[in-house]
Amino acid sequence: MTTTALTEEENSEDISKRRTTKSRTAEFARRHFSALSVLLLIAAVAVAAVFAYLWSDGRASARAADDRRAAVIQAGREFAAATVSYDYRKLDAFFEDLQARSGGGVRSDYTASRPMLTQALTSLQTISTGTVETVAITDGSGDIADLYVQLSTGIKTKDHPDPIPGRSVIHLELVHRDGRWLVDQLDTYLSPTAQPAK
Protein backbone atom coordinates (compact mmCIF):
# COMPACT_ATOMS: atom_id res chain seq x y z
CA MET A 1 0.00 0.00 0.00
CA THR A 2 2.81 2.34 0.66
CA THR A 3 4.07 1.90 -2.88
CA THR A 4 0.66 2.59 -4.23
CA ALA A 5 0.35 5.65 -2.07
CA LEU A 6 3.72 6.93 -3.31
CA THR A 7 2.71 6.29 -6.78
CA GLU A 8 -0.49 8.20 -6.29
CA GLU A 9 1.48 10.96 -4.60
CA GLU A 10 4.00 10.95 -7.42
CA ASN A 11 1.13 10.82 -9.83
CA SER A 12 -0.44 13.76 -8.13
CA GLU A 13 2.87 15.69 -8.28
CA ASP A 14 3.32 14.72 -11.90
CA ILE A 15 -0.21 15.87 -12.74
CA SER A 16 0.40 19.09 -10.83
CA LYS A 17 3.69 19.65 -12.72
CA ARG A 18 1.97 18.98 -16.03
CA ARG A 19 -0.82 21.41 -15.15
CA THR A 20 1.71 24.01 -14.09
CA THR A 21 3.71 23.48 -17.28
CA LYS A 22 0.53 23.70 -19.37
CA SER A 23 -0.60 26.86 -17.61
CA ARG A 24 2.89 28.37 -17.99
CA THR A 25 2.88 27.44 -21.67
CA ALA A 26 -0.59 28.90 -22.08
CA GLU A 27 0.43 32.05 -20.22
CA PHE A 28 3.60 32.31 -22.35
CA ALA A 29 1.54 31.86 -25.52
CA ARG A 30 -1.02 34.45 -24.38
CA ARG A 31 1.69 37.00 -23.59
CA HIS A 32 3.52 36.43 -26.84
CA PHE A 33 0.32 36.38 -28.83
CA SER A 34 -0.72 39.68 -27.21
CA ALA A 35 2.72 41.20 -27.90
CA LEU A 36 2.64 39.88 -31.46
CA SER A 37 -0.86 41.31 -31.94
CA VAL A 38 0.30 44.70 -30.69
CA LEU A 39 3.34 44.61 -33.01
CA LEU A 40 1.17 43.65 -35.98
CA LEU A 41 -1.25 46.45 -35.15
CA ILE A 42 1.61 48.97 -34.93
CA ALA A 43 3.02 47.72 -38.25
CA ALA A 44 -0.41 47.98 -39.91
CA VAL A 45 -0.87 51.54 -38.63
CA ALA A 46 2.64 52.47 -39.83
CA VAL A 47 1.99 51.02 -43.31
CA ALA A 48 -1.36 52.82 -43.49
CA ALA A 49 0.32 56.09 -42.44
CA VAL A 50 3.02 55.69 -45.11
CA PHE A 51 0.44 54.99 -47.82
CA ALA A 52 -1.69 57.96 -46.64
CA TYR A 53 1.38 60.22 -46.73
CA LEU A 54 2.41 59.05 -50.21
CA TRP A 55 -1.14 59.40 -51.49
CA SER A 56 -1.57 62.90 -50.05
CA ASP A 57 1.94 63.87 -51.21
CA GLY A 58 1.05 62.72 -54.73
CA ARG A 59 -2.16 64.72 -54.61
CA ALA A 60 -0.28 67.76 -53.29
CA SER A 61 2.27 67.42 -56.11
CA ALA A 62 -0.49 67.16 -58.71
CA ARG A 63 -2.24 70.17 -57.18
CA ALA A 64 1.02 72.15 -57.20
CA ALA A 65 1.59 71.23 -60.86
CA ASP A 66 -1.97 72.34 -61.71
CA ASP A 67 -1.49 75.61 -59.81
CA ARG A 68 1.83 76.20 -61.58
CA ARG A 69 0.28 75.52 -64.98
CA ALA A 70 -2.59 77.89 -64.23
CA ALA A 71 -0.14 80.62 -63.13
CA VAL A 72 1.90 80.20 -66.34
CA ILE A 73 -1.23 80.35 -68.51
CA GLN A 74 -2.51 83.42 -66.66
CA ALA A 75 0.83 85.26 -66.96
CA GLY A 76 1.12 84.37 -70.67
CA ARG A 77 -2.49 85.31 -71.36
CA GLU A 78 -2.14 88.69 -69.63
CA PHE A 79 1.15 89.54 -71.33
CA ALA A 80 -0.10 88.55 -74.80
CA ALA A 81 -3.31 90.55 -74.39
CA ALA A 82 -1.26 93.55 -73.19
CA THR A 83 1.04 93.43 -76.24
CA VAL A 84 -1.87 93.90 -78.65
CA SER A 85 -4.02 96.26 -76.55
CA TYR A 86 -2.81 99.84 -76.66
CA ASP A 87 -3.96 103.38 -77.26
CA TYR A 88 -1.63 106.05 -78.65
CA ARG A 89 -2.86 108.43 -75.89
CA LYS A 90 -1.75 106.04 -73.10
CA LEU A 91 1.56 104.62 -74.36
CA ASP A 92 3.51 105.32 -71.17
CA ALA A 93 1.21 103.02 -69.19
CA PHE A 94 1.36 100.45 -72.03
CA PHE A 95 5.17 100.27 -72.03
CA GLU A 96 5.41 100.29 -68.24
CA ASP A 97 2.96 97.39 -68.04
CA LEU A 98 4.90 95.35 -70.61
CA GLN A 99 8.22 96.07 -68.92
CA ALA A 100 6.79 95.02 -65.54
CA ARG A 101 5.66 91.70 -67.05
CA SER A 102 8.91 90.98 -68.89
CA GLY A 103 12.51 90.23 -68.11
CA GLY A 104 15.85 89.85 -69.84
CA GLY A 105 15.94 90.52 -73.57
CA VAL A 106 12.25 91.32 -73.92
CA ARG A 107 12.44 94.11 -71.35
CA SER A 108 15.56 95.46 -73.07
CA ASP A 109 13.87 95.32 -76.48
CA TYR A 110 10.83 97.26 -75.24
CA THR A 111 13.08 99.83 -73.57
CA ALA A 112 15.17 100.28 -76.75
CA SER A 113 12.22 100.44 -79.15
CA ARG A 114 9.95 102.59 -76.98
CA PRO A 115 10.87 106.01 -78.49
CA MET A 116 10.48 104.79 -82.09
CA LEU A 117 7.22 102.92 -81.40
CA THR A 118 5.82 105.86 -79.43
CA GLN A 119 6.49 108.20 -82.33
CA ALA A 120 4.99 105.84 -84.95
CA LEU A 121 1.89 104.92 -82.95
CA THR A 122 1.25 108.53 -81.97
CA SER A 123 1.64 109.90 -85.50
CA LEU A 124 -0.80 107.27 -86.82
CA GLN A 125 -3.10 107.68 -83.79
CA THR A 126 -3.16 103.90 -83.43
CA ILE A 127 -5.60 102.11 -81.14
CA SER A 128 -5.45 98.35 -80.94
CA THR A 129 -7.61 95.88 -79.07
CA GLY A 130 -6.82 92.23 -78.69
CA THR A 131 -8.47 89.10 -77.41
CA VAL A 132 -6.76 85.88 -76.39
CA GLU A 133 -8.36 82.96 -78.20
CA THR A 134 -6.25 80.00 -77.10
CA VAL A 135 -3.18 79.22 -75.02
CA ALA A 136 -1.08 76.08 -75.38
CA ILE A 137 1.84 75.09 -73.16
CA THR A 138 4.48 73.12 -75.04
CA ASP A 139 6.99 72.85 -72.20
CA GLY A 140 6.61 73.70 -68.59
CA SER A 141 9.25 72.07 -66.47
CA GLY A 142 11.07 73.76 -63.62
CA ASP A 143 11.32 77.53 -63.69
CA ILE A 144 10.89 77.87 -67.47
CA ALA A 145 7.66 77.55 -69.43
CA ASP A 146 7.14 77.66 -73.17
CA LEU A 147 3.75 78.52 -74.61
CA TYR A 148 1.90 79.78 -77.66
CA VAL A 149 -0.96 82.27 -77.52
CA GLN A 150 -3.36 82.84 -80.40
CA LEU A 151 -4.87 86.32 -80.55
CA SER A 152 -7.44 88.15 -82.60
CA THR A 153 -6.90 91.88 -82.99
CA GLY A 154 -8.62 94.99 -84.24
CA ILE A 155 -6.37 97.92 -85.15
CA LYS A 156 -7.58 101.36 -86.13
CA THR A 157 -5.63 104.45 -87.12
CA LYS A 158 -6.46 107.99 -88.18
CA ASP A 159 -6.47 106.73 -91.79
CA HIS A 160 -8.56 103.64 -91.00
CA PRO A 161 -11.16 104.50 -88.36
CA ASP A 162 -12.84 101.11 -88.70
CA PRO A 163 -10.85 98.38 -86.94
CA ILE A 164 -8.77 96.22 -89.25
CA PRO A 165 -9.14 92.63 -88.08
CA GLY A 166 -6.12 90.44 -87.71
CA ARG A 167 -4.85 87.32 -86.06
CA SER A 168 -1.50 86.44 -84.67
CA VAL A 169 0.26 83.81 -82.67
CA ILE A 170 2.76 84.81 -80.03
CA HIS A 171 5.38 82.39 -78.80
CA LEU A 172 6.42 83.16 -75.23
CA GLU A 173 9.12 81.76 -73.02
CA LEU A 174 8.40 82.58 -69.40
CA VAL A 175 10.86 82.38 -66.52
CA HIS A 176 9.89 82.12 -62.87
CA ARG A 177 11.75 84.85 -60.94
CA ASP A 178 11.08 86.33 -57.53
CA GLY A 179 7.76 84.50 -57.26
CA ARG A 180 6.47 85.77 -60.64
CA TRP A 181 6.34 84.48 -64.20
CA LEU A 182 8.07 86.97 -66.52
CA VAL A 183 8.29 86.82 -70.30
CA ASP A 184 11.92 86.27 -71.23
CA GLN A 185 11.55 85.58 -74.95
CA LEU A 186 8.92 86.70 -77.45
CA ASP A 187 8.29 85.79 -81.09
CA THR A 188 5.25 86.97 -83.04
CA TYR A 189 3.81 85.23 -86.09
CA LEU A 190 1.06 86.70 -88.22
CA SER A 191 -1.66 84.32 -89.13
CA PRO A 192 -2.28 83.70 -92.84
CA THR A 193 -5.88 84.80 -92.23
CA ALA A 194 -4.76 88.36 -91.45
CA GLN A 195 -5.81 90.58 -94.31
CA PRO A 196 -4.18 93.91 -95.18
CA ALA A 197 -6.47 96.94 -95.45
CA LYS A 198 -7.82 97.65 -98.97
pTM over 0.75: no
Q: How many domains does the chain have?
A: 1
**CA dist., res. 115 & res. 122, Å (int):** 11
The answer to whether residue 134 sits within a structural domain is yes
Tell whether 160 is covered by a domain.
yes
102-160 pLDDT per residue, tens: 988 888 988 899 999 999 999 999 999 999 999 998 766 678 999 999 999 999 999 99
Residue 26 amino acid letter = A
Average pLDDT rounded to a whole number, residues 37-63: 71
Q: Is residue 44 part of a domain?
A: no
**Which whole-number Å values give the CA distances from 69 to 106, 149, 174, in the listed order?**
22, 14, 12
146: left (phi over 0), alpha (psi -120 to 50) or beta: beta
Position 155 scores a pLDDT of 93
Q: How confident is the model over 153-184, as pLDDT tens digits?
A: 999 999 999 999 999 999 999 999 988 999 99
Within the chain, where are the H helices? 2-83, 91-101, 104-124
d(CA 66, CA 58): 12
Task: Give 87-108 pLDDT, tens digit per residue.
Answer: 999 999 999 999 999 988 888 9
CA–CA gap between residue 141 and residue 37 (Å, rounded): 47
In angstroms, the CA 169 to CA 132 distance is 10
Q: CATH number for the domain including 111?
A: 3.10.450.230
Residue 161: domain span? 75-190
